[in-house]
C-alpha cells in the first residue's frame, strides 16, 4: 500500500476510534477487532485520567465520568504526543472548550486545575539559579519566586472540596492558595489572605526589593506604610522563604 494511502487509513481508523458514531470504520477490519481496539483505547485514557484526578473522579457518578472522558476523547485535539500529558490536556479542555453540560459539577474546571498543579510540582525543576543568594536580605534585594511553587486563585474553595463539601456557587471572595514543594519533596498547599497573595503576585510579576514590594502592596490596598506594616511584610517574605516558595534574592539592579 502506498504511504499516502496508508496514512489515510490510519487517519480514518483514528477518527473512528475517537468518534465511532460519526465516523465509520475503514473497510476490511473485522468488527470484533474494532470493538476491542475501541474499548482498549478508551479504557487506557479513562484509567489514566482517573488516576490523575482522584478527587474529581470520586465525586462523579461512573456514567458521568465516562461521558466526560468520551466527550474529551472525541472533541479535544490534544497538542501533545505524550500520553502522560493527557491530564494537562483535560484541564485545558475543561477551562477553554467544554460547554456546560447538564449534571456537570460547577467547580469541575477549577478542581481539575488544582489537582493537576500537584503533579506538575512533583516534577518541577527546583535548582536555585546561580545568581540567586538563598540567604540574601529580602528587604534590600529582590525576592525570587521558586520554579517549584505556584500562586493560585480560584472562585471556589477547591482545597476543601470533597464528598462532604460540594459548593454550588462560587465563594463570596476568591480563594488564594500557595502551592509549593517542601524540603522533604512533598507538595503542600497553604491558603493566603488577599494581602499575602498580592505580595507574592508582585514578587512574581513586578520584581523589586522586598521593602519596595511591601510599599506597593500598601498602596494597592490604600494602607498607611507604618513600621508595623513593614515588619509584618518582612515576616511574610521570610515565612515564604522558609516554605521554599521564595528561593532567595537577586541584587537590586536599580540600586546597583
Q: Where are the chain's structural domains?
A: 3-104, 142-250
- Please check whether residue 234 is in contact with residue 214, taking contact to mean a CB–CB distance below 8 angstroms: yes
pTM of the model: 0.84
| Predicted confidence (pLDDT) per residue in 117-162, tens digit | 998 998 888 788 889 999 999 999 999 999 999 999 999 999 999 9
**What class has domain 3-104?**
mainly alpha
Q: Per-residue confidence at 109, pLDDT binned at 50, 70, 90?
A: very high
pLDDT at 224 over 50: yes
pLDDT at 236 over 90: yes
Two domains, one topology: 3-104 and 142-250: no
Instruction: Give residue 76's pLDDT.
Output: 75
Instruction: Give residue 18's pLDDT.
Output: 65
For every residue of 93-142, DSSP letters joined together read HHHHTPPP-TT--TTHHHHHHHHHHHHHHHSS--PPPTT-BTT--TTTSE
Least confident of 5-9, 160-164, 249-253: 5-9
- Topology of domain 142-250 in CATH is Outer Surface Protein A; domain 3 (3.90.930)
pLDDT at 252 over 90: no
Amino acid at each position: 500500500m502506498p504511504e499516502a494511502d496508508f496514512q489515510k487509513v490510519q487517519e480514518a481508523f483514528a477518527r473512528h476510534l475517537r468518534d465511532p458514531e460519526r465516523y465509520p470504520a475503514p473497510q476490511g477490519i473485522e468488527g470484533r477487532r474494532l470493538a476491542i481496539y475501541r474499548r482498549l483505547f478508551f479504557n487506557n485514557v479513562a484509567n489514566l485520567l482517573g488516576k490523575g484526578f482522584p478527587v474529581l473522579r470520586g465525586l462523579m457518578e461512573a456514567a458521568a465520568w465516562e461521558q466526560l472522558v468520551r466527550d474529551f476523547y472525541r472533541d479535544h485535539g490534544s497538542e501533545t504526543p505524550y500520553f502522560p500529558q493527557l491530564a494537562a490536556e483535560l484541564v485545558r479542555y475543561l477551562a477553554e472548550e467544554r460547554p456546560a453540560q447538564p449534571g456537570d459539577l460547577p467547580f469541575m474546571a477549577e478542581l481539575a486545575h488544582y489537582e493537576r498543579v500537584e503533579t506538575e510540582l512533583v516534577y518541577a525543576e527546583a535548582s536555585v539559579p546561580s545568581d540567586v543568594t538563598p540567604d540574601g536580605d529580602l528587604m534590600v534585594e529582590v525576592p525570587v519566586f521558586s520554579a517549584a511553587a505556584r500562586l493560585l486563585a480560584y472562585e471556589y474553595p477547591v482545597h476543601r472540596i470533597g464528598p462532604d463539601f460540594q459548593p454550588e456557587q462560587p465563594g463570596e471572595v476568591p480563594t488564594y492558595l500557595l502551592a509549593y514543594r517542601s524540603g522533604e519533596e512533598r507538595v503542600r498547599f497553604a491558603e493566603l489572605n488577599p494581602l499575602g497573595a498580592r505580595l507574592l503576585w508582585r514578587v512574581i510579576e513586578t520584581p523589586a526589593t522586598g521593602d519596595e514590594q511591601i510599599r506597593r502592596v500598601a498602596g494597592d490596598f490604600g494602607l498607611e506604610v507604618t513600621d508595623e506594616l513593614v515588619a509584618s511584610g518582612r515576616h511574610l517574605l521570610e515565612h515564604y522563604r522558609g516554605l521554599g516558595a521564595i528561593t532567595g534574592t537577586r541584587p537590586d539592579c536599580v540600586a546597583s
